[in-house]
Amino acid sequence: MKKDRGALARLTTGLVLLMIVLLWTIPTIGVLVTSFRDSQDIYSSGWWTVLPHRDLVKIGELELPAETDPDKIVVIEGHSASFDEWRAGVKLADGRTLRWPGNKRTRTIEIYEERWVGFGANLTFQNYLDVLSAGEVSYKDAQGNTITRMSNNFADAVLNSLAVSIPSTLIPILIAAFAAYAFAWMEFPGRRPLFIIVVALLVVPLQIALIPILRDYTRWKLNGTFLSMWLAHTGFGLPLAIYLLYNYISTIPRDIFESALLDGATPYNTFVRLVLPLSVPALASFAIFQFLWVWNDYLVALVFLGDKNRVVTSALAAMVGEKGQDWHLLTSGAFMSMILPLVVFFALQRFFVRGLMAGSVKG
């Protein structure tokens, strides 16, 4: 009986988790599929239509006599119906569907047949090329009209985001690792009050510091430069970095440090050769947090960079304002902004839980 209950509980848990995963990933899959679809298809059908399904496929046309009066009952291949009925579509006995497209002046009847539509119909990489390019891009809207617009040069935005995110992740990691090691294993005056101040900074919202920092940057002529972003993100990210790394480094056995001291290692050598290699899970955990935060940051980039060196978030916001109806471009840009954070997370995720749980259990 207990085994049956346990199996049922595991099955229920698995189904619930599967449902949560599906609900969580379906929007992402929709963005991915839409980013590869033709612009006309996006306006006419949902993204799920790229999956195998039965749909009406146009197989031919037939011309009605010029004297056909659409205001009366029209007979086509032995079937009688009004103009509105023909326009909505009339299904014949053999499975075909006849439709009268356009208005009453047209005399062309389209013939459709229900068939299986395969996976990946009309998928294209052109959307990504249009988003990344710096010149004019052309596409067709729902009515088949050709639209020409200037591209947002998303490639430069990606490079700018990399130029901001990589140093803004590495610099605070390096500084915080030194600080966490000092707080955990070195004796110096004011160690405890300083650590309390660092932890207290975690609850201070960064928004209150934007205007004072902006005034200083303007005075020093740093506004609009990558250096301003590196300094700002380093300052905003250090409290969390020091706290996470301290929790991990403080759990390293004291015997290791005593052995290093007996072997004549200096505190610097101990840090470089022992602490850093042993702290890789904590470093990776903070790297994920910091990189995702900096990459997805919009407010700090808007205040300190503006449009001078537009990053991914600023470029996407501009695309929403300029190309709000161009879903093939918006989804392509959105998915490109997701690729690199996903790569970083999956590359470091094996260290993620270990780094976060460090210091939570002692005994």
Amino acid in position 259: S
Q: What is the DSSP letter of 123?
A: B
Rounded to the nearest 10°, the torsion over CA 175, 179, 180, 184 is 160
Pick the CATH number of 154-357 from 3.40.1190.20, 1.10.3720.10, 3.40.190.10, 3.40.630.10: 1.10.3720.10
Q: Supply angle C-alpha 86, 91, 96, rounded to 5.
A: 110
Contact 177, 279 (CB under 8 A): yes
Segment 82-141, tens digit of pLDDT: 888 888 888 887 888 888 887 778 878 888 888 777 655 677 888 888 888 877 777 666
CA dist., res. 40 & res. 38, Å (int): 6
Average pLDDT over residues 329-345: 86
Q: Give percent of the chain with pLDDT exceeding 70.
A: 91
CA dist., res. 114 & res. 92, Å (int): 12
pLDDT score of 247 more than 90: no
Phi and psi torsions of 274, nearest 5°: -115, -55
What six digits make up the tokens of 273?
Answer: 């050769």
